[in-house]
Chains A and B, each alone.
Chain A
């Protein structure tokens, strides 16, 4: 068992090492299947562990070696496989596998094909460390590791300097969050004297802790989550991260890495549950981000940017669920979101592939006939994310909304439901503008329109099936079917039983469900009428109203950061260099040097070789000495 667990992360690392070292000399086919094969084996092993745990086995812990040991400051390189981690492992390796296979087609012919697979495998390794670690430091390894892979993959096409800058922005903004997480780790160690989850949660009830300390711990961890999961105020890196190849956006910036923040809070839920203030902040930031990102997404015209803001918005909903203490509901949405958002990105990739790199939806249109598989799968994913009844997103979003209603009442519910309505609106706008109407691209593009190869469409179809049927994982209890709330039960050993929605009456739940569905359906209907029937095309920036321009310009977050932080820091850097360092400090040092030299010169003038001067000096000196003694 130990060896199996160890193999799960290390096989992808091995794949990365092989492809990274000799991949340049191997044929594409070998590189691609080597990378995918490593992930496939990891996936199968994860399935085996899943079956093992589902059969009622206890969580498994594997210690490889002590990583850092300074007295009690002890960190083991160790893995923990419990329901929560095995579930994340399945998502990471399962969706990861599909995206690896898809990439074989998508990256075909790219000069950096081997590099791409090496990075992708390295990412899987890091992400597995993150979710499989048995302590917070292991989580931190993965946490920074996925950030690094994200950097490498956003800047994958490094010939373009702008992409390199986007990569750096992502890494640095993530590091801001990481500092919060790191300080949170230190505080946890100061309080619990251990980094291991088992120790921390065992000591939690025994130590009578000041709630303020727990709030501080919760908030510091949440700062890390905000960075990694692109929440306000650290979300602006994610849209720029779309510079990376599209499979990267699907894997890292939608399905897995950005959900690390959710995982962190869910994993540390015993801490958060005792820190209500921290949970309130989590819920508030989540809801706010969800709305702001939804509004921005309404007025984006880059197919990937729309999806990026959609991801930010959905992550916000997950944090809202966490803030309500509905950890299983958040994990459920992580799961369904991984299915349909990965599918949407891969679909977008297929469109971009067909149009030779075009990403602006204003230059698309009418693609449903030329790209039937892409169209149908994209359609299903759009319906799923919009919350159309019986599709996966409907159930997972309903869980969150019901918990919000039960947790904080109708006001928050209305806002959260509006967030859901926005999702339906911007997603169906994207769908209809892209696939309906007439083709608005160039003649060459029209002549070259083609559906993607099977290696790309088969992953789309599998993900489409999952997007449709994913709701079966966790059907609401009020349906009274066997297997209802299966996922919540499976995860409960890891994330507890807290589900405020159980307090609601059945009528209330049906009512909430109906209202949210109605909202989603009417949003889709309106978008169909506007963009499908009347075939409106999004306008250029100049024609937008003032409010729309604010949305299109992302609420000017980037401009504000540039003005308030980036430029002042750069200015400070130059001021410090020229004035403080060169002029003041070094000037002072040189001043002392030249002063000493000047004094030396003065003294040298005394030594002029004239014996009379020396005699005079001697006499004066002797007299002074004599006087001083006498007095």
Chain B
């Protein structure tokens, strides 16, 4: 995948070109894809054969969806990043591309160690992006984010090694990090218990889930818009994807004992983060908390480990990525105009900037899962998945449809409605860049809203295969 760090002036356009090319490549793969659950594209090079490590990438439906998510959002994020100067443009866009490469790797890796390497590799560029171009207290906040997620990942490494040493070995060949070998490893109850906990800590921090989330609002708020989009639109999905591909398949023996605990945290986190979002006055922080709530539901859909839940979480990852990128770009647009992100400094925007307001509204509809927008199918499947696990848990998670509407519409009303806020002069309407980025987001909201089933078809075979490979 693309890796460039051009120092030339049009670094931004190089980045746009690279991401668009990547998107076209993804679409090409999508067109020729056969959704029967197998890996349609596989690339396997021995890397450290003595230790059973291979540079093995493959694309089944689930991976392809995640790659599509990454490469669909990438051009939008790169475009959106162009609203400000970074001093050394090449450095910023180079880091962003490096991160995108790592993210693609995470979603394609079929070797446990390779997965881990990509997983860590994605962290480093975004650390620099946030630490160099962030806002207030960026060093302290970013360092905390880095250490927190890094420590989490170490638990995953330990868990991965534990499974690796239990993977089948026929005496001649050593153990292997291949997905199939790791899944085939028979773990005893207590090992499985620790292994699942290790993976969970890594993924729960990354997503993040309650109570491992406190790095997230600060980091999202302080990071530059592009960094926030990378983190929330794509990077957090590494955690969810990891849970689907690695955590539960590798230690299914522990699912029965851990699922109630993890689910409890996830669902509690939905309500908890939604409640906090209700009274936030900083729009960016409000969206950060709403992201915790949304991800809590996505994670719950994985943890219940049934097909509606899994399919819901997959389609919702795509939807959430689009929506959150759109929302953070709106925050960026408002902050550039008003010099503030505080809701009480806003108001009257709908009057002077109707296009911006309309696009913001469409993305908001996706975020609150109105039917025939992209958020609906996922939320519907997710809630049903959780409901199947236990109806009371489903009802509790369902509070998100009430609270989500309350905080998103409160924010929308305060920001857009009313006569002009304290800033008396009318604000400018969306410029061409904003129209492209938000317009793409809005179109995706509606297209995926009317036609969600192609995503479900894409992942259907792979989800069956993963579910089939795992004996709970």
Chain A interface (Cβ < 8 Å from any Cβ of B): 24, 65-71, 73, 137, 140-141, 144-145, 148, 151, 155, 158-161, 163-165, 167-168, 171-172, 175-176, 178-179, 182-183, 186-187, 189-190, 569-570, 572-574, 576-577, 580-582, 585-586, 589-590, 593
Contact = CB atoms under 8 A, between A and B. Distances in A.
B413 A574 contact: no
Contacts of B35: none
Of all A-B residue pairs in the complex, the 7 with the closest CB atoms, nearest first, are: A586-B214, A164-B417, A141-B371, A158-B417, A573-B279, A164-B413, A573-B278
B351 interface: yes
B321 interface: no
28 contacts: A65-B453, A68-B452, A69-B456, A70-B311, A73-B381, A144-B371, A145-B372, A148-B370, A155-B413, A158-B416, A158-B417, A159-B351, A171-B409, A172-B405, A176-B402, A183-B391, A183-B395, A186-B383, A186-B394, A187-B391, A569-B275, A572-B275, A573-B277, A577-B279, A581-B276, A589-B144, A589-B148, A593-B147
B242 interface: no
B307 interface: yes
B232 interface: no
Contacts of B416: 158
Nearest to B365: A148
A582 B276 CA distance: 11
B387 A183 contact: yes
B365 A69 contact: no
Contact of A186 (B214, B279, B387): B387
Contacts of B347: 161
Interface string B370-406: 1110000100110110011001001100110110011
Contact of A161 (B277, B307, B398, B418): B418
Contact of A172 (B215, B277, B351, B402): B402
Nearest to A586: B214
Given A168-B413, A574-B279, A585-B214, 9 more contacts: A68-B456, A140-B371, A144-B371, A159-B351, A159-B418, A161-B347, A182-B398, A581-B276, A589-B214
Contact of A175 (B275, B381, B405, B410): B405
A593 B140 CA distance: 12
A137 B376 CA distance: 11
A144 B404 CA distance: 14
Nearest to B400: A179
Nearest to A186: B387
Nearest to B372: A141
Q: For the complex, would chain A's binding face be called helix, strand, loop or mixed by DSSP majority? A: helix
Contacts of A158: 350-351, 416-418
Contacts of A183: 387, 391, 394-395, 398
B25 interface: no
Interface string B31-65: 00000000000000000000000000000000000
Contacts of A593: 144, 147
Contacts of A155: 413, 417
A519 B395 CA distance: 46
A573 B276 contact: yes
A590 B141 CA distance: 11
Contact of A145 (B275, B370, B377, B391): B370
Nearest to A66: B453
B308 interface: yes
Contact of B453 (A68, A137, A189): A68
A580 B276 CA distance: 10
B351 A70 contact: no
Contacts of B399: 179
Given A148-B365, A569-B278, A182 B409 contact: no
B276 A576 contact: yes
Contacts of A570: 278-279
Interface in B439-457: 451-453, 456-457
Contact of B308 (A73, A151, A159, A577): A73
A148 B401 CA distance: 13
Residue from A582, A589, A590 whose CB has the most chain B CB atoms within 10 Å: A589
B272 to A, nearest CB: 6
Interface in B262-281: 272, 275-280
A576 B418 contact: no
B17 interface: no
A189 B460 CA distance: 20
Residue from B275, B383, B410 whose CB has the most chain A CB atoms within 10 Å: B275
Contacts of B144: 589-590, 593
Contacts of A577: 276, 279-280
Interface string B276-289: 11111000000000
Given A151-B409, A159-B419, A179 B214 contact: no
Nearest to B378: A68
Contacts of A148: 365, 370
Contacts of B384: 73, 186, 189
A68 B280 CA distance: 35
Nearest to A68: B377
Contacts of B311: 70
Given A68-B380, A70-B308, A183-B387, A171 B279 contact: no
Contacts of A569: 275, 278
Nearest to A111: B351
Given A148-B370, A183-B395, A68 B381 contact: yes
B211 interface: yes
A461 to B, nearest CB: 37
Nearest to B311: A70
A67 B380 CA distance: 12
Contacts of A161: 347, 413, 417-418
Residue from A24, A165, A178, A581 whose CB has the most chain B CB atoms within 10 Å: A581
Contact of B410 (A68, A159, A168, A189): A168
Contacts of B272: 576, 580
Given A171-B409, A569-B275, A179 B398 contact: yes
Nearest to A582: B214
A68 B385 CA distance: 14
A165 B365 CA distance: 17
B307 A71 contact: yes
A85 B276 CA distance: 43
B381 A70 contact: yes
Contacts of B451: 65
A573 B311 CA distance: 32
A585 B211 contact: yes
B423 to A, nearest CB: 16
A189 B410 CA distance: 33
A569 B399 CA distance: 13
A570 B275 CA distance: 8
B418 A144 contact: no
Contacts of A179: 395, 398-399, 401-402
A513 to B, nearest CB: 44
A171 B368 CA distance: 11
Contacts of A175: 401-402, 405
Contacts of B410: 168
A145 B417 contact: no
B219 to A, nearest CB: 12
Interface string B342-374: 000001101100100000000001000011100
B24 to A, nearest CB: 27
A169 to B, nearest CB: 10
A573 B419 CA distance: 28
Nearest to B361: A152
Nearest to B315: A68
Interface string B87-106: 00000000000000000000
Contacts of B276: 573, 576-577, 581
Contacts of B211: 585
Contacts of B419: 159
B154 to A, nearest CB: 14
Nearest to A137: B380
Interface in B122-164: 144, 147-148
Nearest to A73: B308
Contact of B275 (A67, A178, A576, A582): A576
